[in-house]
């Protein structure tokens, strides 16, 4: 009898409703998206001992900043190394493992707060939780692509939209819980960690129990695969290890990395940037509202652009991201110079929608180029581009800004060069996308290898 | 189509609505909270 987590056990019947799969993926992604909102705990964690204000032995913000950084690094590493395991064991086991890691990471971090041992938070949320993030992120992607061969972009966009939405739930939930548990002897972080760890574990386990893979010869009712292959959409498969030997993998890596770097450049600095570029016109509260607006467009863009890519084609969608992104980035200093807040906000919102869209469309682009058989694992390896951009984007923005201010440039003008550099990065992305061609014949798996699940 | 197949489809439909509600309600709450924050930009 096949084990509870085995692929055989979760293979659906032919009449299974495929619309039950996206909420299973969302149940996981809405939880792990909380990572984007981890910063709400930072300030209260600097008062764990002093409660009302920081005591001399309390943690510093710089010490706490490593928790999030570690989580993102381990997200990239676990997605890269766990992708092949995911293809072997299937989505249920991977999602369940992600639930244990993410929920367990919260619990270990709660113990770390209780004992005031920061290494337990590094290990808990950073390392173990980070592995949960990576495994949870990639686990439903290939399953969704197999269930929605007719709407690959929309299906993966739905799940990855959940990651953007997870921060919108995680931030107010974290604040609400801390407020609820706050007392004269506690800032409420430990208790909030325990509640969130349990809630997220349960929700992710529900997702893992609901996930199903389609039977091998399954296709949507009334849908017939196109007889002739569309350009840049293969019906064949490239093995996960072989994909790394193709130039297409590295071009897609660069495409994702450049698109994310440009988006993070705005997202990471949005609050300070708008206040400095429109000095006196934007209050800190309004700047926080600007960040909220960008988050909404980041999330919405994930669904809208990836769904649009099913009709526009993946390569054309990225052409649009890079061309429109270059134009809008290079116009931001002009809008700022003219004092045109409305156009500045509108352009930033569109840029952020394309940042989210870039994340959500990449799995479908990978499936088009490398086939669907190993797309989850290949996607995992491509996510190292995200980890790289996560470092590159903020460093570029901060370093160039500091350099310019040190050399006498006014704060309001200090972003101009950075924004032009971001536009330049997007032009490089455009060229990478232009160079994308179908994979060479030699890299595809032979028919019998596909049947037997052979390694390349 | 047999009666049991019809029953199965109805069960799927109920499950479908419940499962989507389970993920969309928290998401809607999160979006609403963010939207309220975003309104400060236009205040």
- Tens of pLDDT, residue by residue over A72-121, are 889 989 999 998 899 889 999 999 999 999 999 999 999 999 999 999 99
Tell me the β-bridge partners of A238: A444
d(CA A12, CA A215): 6
The ipTM, to two decimals, is 0.88
Mean pLDDT within A26-44: 93
Nearest-CB residue to B12 (from A17, A166, A285): A17
Which residue does chain A place closest to B17, by CA atoms?
A: A20
Give the pLDDT confidence score for residue B1 in this predicted structure. Answer: 42
Separation in Å, CA of A19 to nearest CA in chain B: 7
B8/A293 CB distance under 8 A? no
pLDDT higher than threshold 50 for residue B6: no
pLDDT higher than threshold 90 for residue A381: yes
Instruction: Name the pTM for this structure.
Output: 0.89
pLDDT higher than threshold 60 for residue B5: no
pLDDT higher than threshold 80 for residue A184: yes
Q: Are A20 and B11 in contact (CB under 8 A)?
A: no
Nearest-CB residue to A289 (from B9, B33, B40): B40
On average, the pLDDT of chain A sits at: 91
Q: Which residues of A touch B35 (CB under 8 A)?
A: 292, 296
d(CA A358, CA A253): 12
Q: Which of A129 and A267 is assigned the larger pLDDT?
A: A129
Give the pLDDT confidence score for residue B4 in this predicted structure. Answer: 46
| Contacting residues for A56 by C-beta, under 8 A, at least 6 apart | none
A144-148, A161-165, A395-399, range with the lowest pLDDT: A395-399
Q: Which of A55-64, A257-266, A303-312, A383-392 has the highest mean pLDDT?
A: A303-312
**Stretch(es) of chain A classified as CATH 1.20.1250.20:** 18-210, 240-443
Q: Does domain A18-210 correspond to CATH entry 3.30.43.10?
A: no
For residue A140, give the DSSP letter: T
Q: Are A80 and A231 in contact (CB under 8 A)?
A: no
CATH topology of domain A240-443: Growth Hormone; Chain: A; (1.20.1250)
Q: Which long-range contacts (CB under 8 A, 24 or more apart) does A20-23 make?
A: A20/A210, A20/A212, A20/B12, A20/B15, A20/B16, A20/B19, A21/A140, A21/A143, A21/A144, A21/A147, A21/A155, A21/A210, A21/A211, A21/A212, A22/A144, A22/A155, A22/A158, A22/A159, A23/A207, A23/A210, A23/B19, A23/B20, A23/B22, A23/B23
Mean pLDDT within A374-391: 89
Q: How confident is the model at residue A2 (pLDDT cuts 50, 70, 90)?
A: low
For residue A124, give the DSSP letter: I
- % of chain A beyond a pLDDT of 90: 66
Q: How confident is the model at residue A15 (pLDDT cuts 50, 70, 90)?
A: confident
Q: Does B1 touch chain A (CB under 8 A)?
A: no
Which residue does chain B place closest to A159, by CA atoms?
A: B23
pLDDT higher than threshold 60 for residue B2: no
* Domain boundaries, given as residue ranges, for chain B: 3-41
Q: Which of A209 and A73 is assigned the larger pLDDT?
A: A209
Which residue of B14, B17, B19 is the best one to mutate when testing the A interface, meaning the one whose CB has the most A CBs within 10 A?
A: B19
């Amino acid at each position: 009898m096949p084990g509870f987590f085995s692929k055989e056990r979760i293979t659906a019947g032919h009449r299974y409703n495929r619309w039950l799969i996206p909420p299973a993926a969302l149940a996981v992604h809405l939880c792990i998206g909380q990572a984007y909102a981890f910063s709400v705990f930072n300030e209260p964690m600097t008062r764990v001992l002093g409660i009302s204000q920081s005591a001399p032995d309390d943690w510093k913000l710089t010490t706490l900043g490593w928790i999030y950084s570690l989580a993102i690094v381990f997200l990239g590493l676990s997605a890269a190394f766990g992708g092949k395991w995911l293809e072997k064991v299937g989505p249920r086991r991977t999602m369940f493992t992600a639930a244990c890691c993410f929920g367990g990471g919260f619990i270990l971090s709660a113990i770390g707060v209780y004992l005031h041992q920061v290494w337990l938070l590094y290990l808990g949320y950073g390392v173990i939780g980070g592995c949960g993030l990576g495994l949870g992120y990639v686990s439903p992607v290939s399953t969704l692509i197999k269930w929605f061969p007719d709407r690959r972009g929309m299906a993966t966009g739905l799940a990855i939209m959940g990651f953007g939405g997870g921060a919108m739930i995680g931030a107010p939930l974290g604040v609400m819980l801390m407020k609820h548990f706050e007392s004269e002897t506690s800032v409420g972080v430990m208790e909030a960690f325990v509640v969130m760890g349990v809630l997220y574990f349960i929700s992710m386990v529900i997702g893992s129990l609901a996930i199903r893979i389609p039977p091998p010869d399954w296709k949507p009712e009334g849908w017939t695969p196109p007889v002739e292959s569309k350009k840049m959409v293969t019906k064949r498969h490239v093995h996960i290890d072989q994909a790394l030997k193709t130039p297409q993998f590295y071009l897609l890596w660069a495409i994702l990395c450049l698109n994310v770097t440009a988006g993070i450049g705005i997202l990471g600095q949005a609050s300070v940037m708008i206040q400095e570029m429109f000095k006196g016109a934007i209050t800190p509260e309004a700047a926080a509202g600007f960040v909220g607006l960008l988050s909404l467009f980041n999330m919405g863009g994930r669904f809208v652009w990836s769904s649009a890519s099913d009709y526009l084609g993946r390569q054309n969608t990225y052409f649009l991201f890079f061309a429109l992104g270059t134009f809008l980035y290079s116009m931001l200093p002009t809008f700022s110079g003219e004092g045109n807040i409305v156009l500045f906000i509108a352009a930033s919102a569109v840029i952020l929608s394309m940042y989210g869209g870039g994340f959500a469309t990449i799995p479908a682009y990978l499936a088009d180029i490398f086939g669907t058989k190993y797309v989850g694992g290949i996607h995992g390896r491509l996510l190292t581009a995200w980890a790289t951009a996560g470092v590159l984007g903020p460093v570029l923005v901060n370093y160039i800004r500091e350099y310019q201010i040190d050399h006498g440039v006014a704060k309001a003008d200090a972003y101009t060069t950075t924004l032009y550099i971001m536009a330049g990065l997007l032009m490089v992305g455009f060229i990478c996308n232009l160079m994308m061609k179908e994979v060479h014949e030699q890299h595809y798996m032979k028919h019998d290898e596909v049947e037997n699940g052979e390694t390349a | 189509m047999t009666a049991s197949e019809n029953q199965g489809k109805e069960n799927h439909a109920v499950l479908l609505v419940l499962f989507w509600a389970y993920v969309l309600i928290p998401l809607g709450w999160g979006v609403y909270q963010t939207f309220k924050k975003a309104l400060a930009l236009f205040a």
